[in-house]
Structure 1
């Protein structure tokens, strides 16, 4: 992290390559997250209710307390780390601070809401299926927005660095630093 804070990353092409590979990895994670959701459910309340409460037609059982607990336990940690990492990278973009705060907050809230929604459908009321659908869509949108904004910022800063002639000095990769950051 000190590379981002001190501006040393301008001379660290490996660090920039790692950030780009991480963002590619997260893009694949985002795609498979959607694929997993649509493998189990659709954007209809009936499909969500059927998934969590079981279905006689499909011969499926309701989700158990233990099953939901295991998934929630893993997701709370992994999604927290994912959103924290993407939000941290977002801090180093030249975007408006209000947008950064709003998008980060939306990402954290939607990740928790997506987890809570399954519990609400299963143990409170099937009407929370709409909440599950909305939470899933908000989570996917917010993760995509974080991902795209960080990638665009990184690419734009690399192009600006190339125009200033800085790519030759730092080994071919420009820095991902806030606008007006320290010089190389």
Structure 2
């Protein structure tokens, strides 16, 4: 009863709504990440190789060390903050700890692999294009999984709170 007298249920519902709005924003980020990837290349090794090593047919230059460094520098910070926020939200929901651990490891490893893969294609061997494709797909999948798990848990929590709130009146 104290929960309703002090208004804590309203703060919890507001926090829930704010996090759901944030998750909508993250979903749009997820969509734009995929769109940016497919604007530059597709899921074929040839397109990845042409993007990083350049193409005489398309008159494109290989990616420079500086351009890769600038993108990596920004992505390491931005993706790190995004993944930290999303995994932190996942820690607060009611799913088994083993699921939390595996999803967290999956998303962190795929994000690092996705950043590393471009460097490997450009400076080690073109066959790392397959690694780039796999790491991108895994990153998109793991982010989608993380977004879905958090959103579903928030919606279930919201429904439960609304049922509890309506049963008091």
Encode CA deviations 1:10-44: one digit per residue, 9 max, x unaligned.
44133222211110100000000000000000000
What is the aligned length? 162
Gaps of 5+ in 2: 1-6
Structure 2 residue aligned with 1:177: none
Preserved contact between residue 9 and residue 16 of structure 1 (Cα < 8 Å):
no
Cα distance change of structure 1 residues 94 and 58 upon mapping to structure 2, 3 Å threshold: same
Correspondence 1:35-50 to 2 at 5 A: 35-50=35-50
Cα distance change of structure 1 residues 168 and 66 upon mapping to structure 2, 3 Å threshold: farther
Instruction: Tell me the C-alpha RMSD between the 2 structures.
Output: 1.7
- Name whichever structure is richer in helix by fraction: 2
Structure 1 residue aligned with 2:100: 100
Structure 1 residue aligned with 2:15: 15
Structure 2 residue aligned with 1:131: 131
- What is the TM-score with the length of structure 2 in the denominator? 0.91
Cα distance change of structure 1 residues 157 and 115 upon mapping to structure 2, 3 Å threshold: same
Post-superposition shift, 1:123?
Answer: 0.1
- Please list every run of at least 4 consecutive aligned residues from structure 1 whose deviation after the TM superposition is greater than 6 angstroms: none
- What is the TM-score with the length of structure 1 in the denominator? 0.84
Q: Measure, in 1, the Cα distance between the counterparts of 2:122 and 2:38.
A: 18
Which has the larger displacement, 31-40 or 87-96? 87-96
Preserved contact between residue 55 and residue 61 of structure 1 (Cα < 8 Å):
yes
Preserved contact between residue 106 and residue 142 of structure 1 (Cα < 8 Å):
yes
Greater RCO (CA < 8 Å, at least 6 residues apart): 1
Encode CA deviations 1:109-153: one digit per residue, 9 max, x unaligned.
110100000000000000000000000001000100010110000
Preserved contact between residue 93 and residue 150 of structure 1 (Cα < 8 Å):
yes
Q: Measure, in 1, the Cα distance between the counterparts of 2:106 and 2:167.
A: 35
